[in-house]
């Protein structure tokens, strides 16, 4: 079947948000006496769901809050942090979205909440590119479960053989592959050592993904 839609991840794929996620976690952890360097934190938790990160941190440091509570605090803090400082776009993000939108339906499939993702998309005027947006609070089972990608395909009225996913992390790749979707992975400095053996394609950038995989011939 011919390609009809491209399903993009958000954090680490379209926006370079790792530093803001780290800063938000620092705001939550500092009052609890926990300090982790940015490099160490991002290398371990890049692409890891916020709730899972919260549970790992709670157990590792024996924190007096549940993992769910820590994740909620972090999500709330990220909204505050991002209201003051927007994460930078990944290289070629606008150009590639513009090109892709001329030929295919586009979806955003993210592990971020709507409160986290939509203000950033609005700031960069990216909302208009997407035919549908699936965030963490739209599903019962977020990534790495396949439900977010399955929901996006249902909203676009396409099947797995008609789409590709674009991801930057093992968590997102696992979600897309479980939904039966061929996936292009674009690793960054914090995810480069993750297991991407199930990816269909490995690309150096969004621009390379466009030129090598989805550009109509």
| Token pair belonging to 66 | 């549940």
Going from N- to C-terminal start, the domains of the chain cover 5-16+87-214, 18-84
pLDDT value for 179? 98
How far is residue 77's CA from residue 75's CA, in Å, rounded to a whole number? Answer: 5
- DSSP class of residue 51 equals H
pLDDT band at 214 (very low <50, low <70, confident <90, very high): very high
pLDDT value for 1? 64
pLDDT value for 196? 96
| Token pair belonging to 182 | 């061929």
pLDDT band at 56 (very low <50, low <70, confident <90, very high): very high
How far is residue 198's CA from residue 65's CA, in Å, rounded to a whole number? Answer: 36
Global confidence as pTM = 0.89
User: Could you tell me which CATH class the domain 5-16+87-214 is placed in?
Assistant: alpha beta
| Token pair belonging to 196 | 């991407």
**Integer distance in angstroms from the first to the last C-alpha of the chain?**
15
Query: Dihedral of the CA atoms 179, 184, 190, 193 (nearest 10)?
Result: 90
For residues 158-171, give the mean pLDDT: 96
């Amino acid at each position: 079947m011919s390609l009809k839609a491209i399903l993009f991840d958000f954090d680490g794929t379209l926006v370079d948000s790792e530093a803001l996620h780290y800063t938000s976690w620092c705001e939550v952890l500092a009052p609890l006496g926990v300090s982790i360097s940015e490099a160490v934190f991002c290398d371990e938790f890049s692409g890891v769901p916020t709730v899972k990160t919260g549970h790992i941190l709670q157990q590792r440091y024996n924190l007096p809050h549940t993992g769910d509570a820590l994740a909620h605090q972090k999500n709330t803090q990220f909204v505050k942090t991002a209201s003051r400082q927007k994460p930078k776009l990944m290289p070629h993000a606008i150009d590639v979205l513009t090109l892709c939108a001329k030929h295919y339906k586009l979806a955003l499939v993210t592990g971020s909440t709507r409160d986290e993702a939509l203000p950033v998309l609005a700031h960069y005027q990216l909302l208009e590119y997407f035919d549908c947006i699936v965030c963490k609070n739209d599903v019962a089972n977020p990534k790495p479960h396949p439900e977010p990608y399955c929901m996006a395909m249902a909203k676009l009225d396409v099947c797995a053989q008609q789409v590709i996913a674009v991801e930057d992390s093992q968590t997102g790749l696992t979600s897309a592959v479980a939904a039966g979707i061929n996936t292009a992975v674009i690793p960054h400095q914090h995810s480069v050592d993750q297991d991407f053996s199930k990816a269909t394609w490995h690309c150096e950038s969004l621009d390379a993904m466009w030129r090598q995989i989805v550009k109509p011939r």
